[in-house]
Amino acid sequence: MRYLKALSLFFLLGAASVILPADSGVLAEVDGRELHSNELCKEAAALLPDAALPEDVRSVKIQAAVQLEVKLRTTEKLLSQAGIKADRSTAEWYISERCAKYGMSGDILKQGLEKLVNDRGFQLKSAIYRYIQSTQPEKTVISKEEAESHYRRNQMSFRKSVPGTFLVASVPQELPEAKERISSLRAALMQGENISTAAERHKIICRPASPEFAAGIPHKNLKLYRNWVSAPFVHEKNLCIAVCIEPPSKEFIPFEKICPLIEEELISRRTGAAFDIILKKQLSLIKIKYRR
């Protein structure tokens, strides 16, 4: 779900000069202190280039790695100064804080967030939310009117597929007369006979299809309609036909059900943007001299 990880930390760092000669393992000087490649966090280290790449490409990748390292260190410094850690405990606090007001309607949000509790990015997002809550609490509040407005503007995004309902008639495929019996039943249905009556007359088992079964009924992307009859198909050693009782459709998810997810997205955007302003100001004070 994109609502659960919105965090805007990656923007251009201020201009920096490239003036120093190459030195083993030293990527740059940050405020006069050497930054070595083995000091990078794994996210920044992953951006370092392969030695076989052209020099200009290597330079760009090294700068990106250094900038990410500086951004993450500065973020951690700001959080630390506020007594906040980006860890599991903060992630658990965030889930409790965000979901408490919703009750049962927040179960989907809570379940989604709980899957991320050990994710470093989510822990960082949770810590940034806590930081903004302590410094700019108004940024962590979304009114119902704002959420409803977002829902109306993006309503086509909040649709779900309804699989439809089907009855399935089946004959064991091992029977010599299986094909003939299922074909006779299908012919009767194509002439408008009720499936339950026709299946009883042909002594064929007829049952409601589960949603999982219904999703696998072959219909070659045809637009289904009430009383549509499928071509014969094989399922678990049975020769089957299906009749559509209610065709598949799409319907809008009610606002009340989707509201917690909408608020999560809007709050993530708002707190991320607020923190970016603070972070960008701090980054503008840092002087970086890259080494090639």
Q: With contact defined as beta carbons under 8 Å apart, do 206 and 184 qualify?
A: no
Q: With contact defined as beta carbons under 8 Å apart, do 87 and 123 qualify?
A: yes
Does the predicted model carry a pTM greater than 0.75?
Answer: no
Closest by Cα among 158, 90, 135, 105 to 279 = 135
**Strand bridging mode 288-291 / 17-20:** parallel
Q: What is the pLDDT of residue 26?
A: 92
* Tens digits of residue pLDDT in 92-102: 999 999 998 88
* Tens digits of residue pLDDT in 138-194: 999 999 999 999 999 999 999 988 878 999 999 999 999 999 999 999 999 999 999
Q: What is the pLDDT of residue 220?
A: 61
Alpha-carbon distance of 37 to 66, in angstroms, equals: 9
What average pLDDT is seen over the chain? Answer: 87
Compute the radius of gyration of the chain from its Cα atoms: 30
Could you tell me the CA-to-CA distances from 16 to 30, 66, 193 in Å, in that order? 10, 11, 79
Position 262, amino acid? I
* Tens digits of residue pLDDT in 190-206: 999 998 889 989 989 89
Alpha-carbon distance of 200 to 197, in angstroms, equals: 5
Q: Average pLDDT for residues 1-10, to the nearest whole number?
A: 39
The answer on pLDDT for 247 being more than 80 is yes
What would the two tokens of residue 208 be?
Answer: 């409601």
Kind plus residue range of the DSSP H or E element containing 156: none
Alpha-carbon distance of 146 to 139, in angstroms, equals: 13
Alpha-carbon distance of 172 to 179, in angstroms, equals: 10
Kind plus residue range of the DSSP H or E element containing 287: none
Alpha-carbon distance of 206 to 209, in angstroms, equals: 9
**Strand bridging mode 33-36 / 233-235:** unpaired
Alpha-carbon distance of 44 to 134, in angstroms, equals: 29
Question: pLDDT band at 273, cuts 50/70/90?
Answer: very high
